[in-house]
Structure 1
């Protein structure tokens, strides 16, 4: 496959900056596969898994919301947070899941409920992605 420049940036760091042959991610409109010379677009990214193919090998990461911008020659992902599957602290993710469930059960407003649901989605995504690495 033909590689294209991919850059993934969080508020804290550049997570990935290099050639990729394929990126599979979840957008607000559904799952999408990005290849070289893909049609230009911009999309919101909810929390979900990201699969990046480099030199024929797939790597998985857990993304916690962001935006993807596919240009003529490159793709950029601005992520709230992202981490490689093999770097996820599973025990911490499970504690976050339980905390989110507790917050959801104690929510006194729609805002508190929505925040707890987003925290739960992020925790479940991290737990799911942690099992994807080889």
Structure 2
């Protein structure tokens, strides 16, 4: 049976390395499901979750919060290079919730002071915090 090899790499090193029967990601162009023998390609990832259905058991699914990056699919090897990525089991949800509140305050402050760049950065931080919370709650 054909399978995929999934590797997720950040500047801190290898975060994830397993075999899968199916992978789901969200690119800037939309949702993408990947099965073995998928065409080779490269795409830009959105800040979102990555779902990896492992080959060892049909019910074994890993969830990884990925904060953007790129995905390369080449000959059944999926390589994701991201600024940051965390497996659901490693996410500190209370820390992510504090980051969400902090980002919401920063957005409000930036809007009051008409600081467009600060608002944009805070919105990205908010999106990342929400992604981490959502993935962390998948356990």
TM-score, structure 1 as length reference: 0.93
* Uncovered stretches (5+) of structure 1, i.e. residues with no partner: none
Structure 1 residue 6: Cα displacement? 1.7
Q: What is the Cα-based RMSD across aligned positions, in Å?
A: 1.3
The answer for the alignment partner of 2:67 in structure 1 is 64
Q: 1:131 aligns with which of 108, 117, 137?
A: 137
SS of 2:38's equivalent? Answer: coil
Q: 1:112 aligns with which of 113, 118, 135?
A: 118
Q: Does 1:73 align with 2:73?
A: no
State the number of aligned residues.
133
CA contact (8 A) 2:91 2:136 kept: yes
CA contact (8 A) 2:3 2:76 kept: no
Q: Does 1:91 align with 2:94?
A: yes
The answer for the alignment partner of 2:33 in structure 1 is 33
The answer for the alignment partner of 1:4 in structure 2 is 4
Separation (CA, whole Å) in 2 of partners of 1:61 and 1:19: 14
CA contact (8 A) 2:106 2:122 kept: yes
Structure 1 segments (4+ residues) deviating >3 Å: none
Separation (CA, whole Å) in 1 of partners of 2:90 and 2:10: 16
Structure 1 residue 72: Cα displacement? 2.4
SS of 1:132's equivalent? Answer: coil
SS of 2:123's equivalent? Answer: helix
* Uncovered stretches (5+) of structure 2, i.e. residues with no partner: none
TM-score, structure 2 as length reference: 0.90
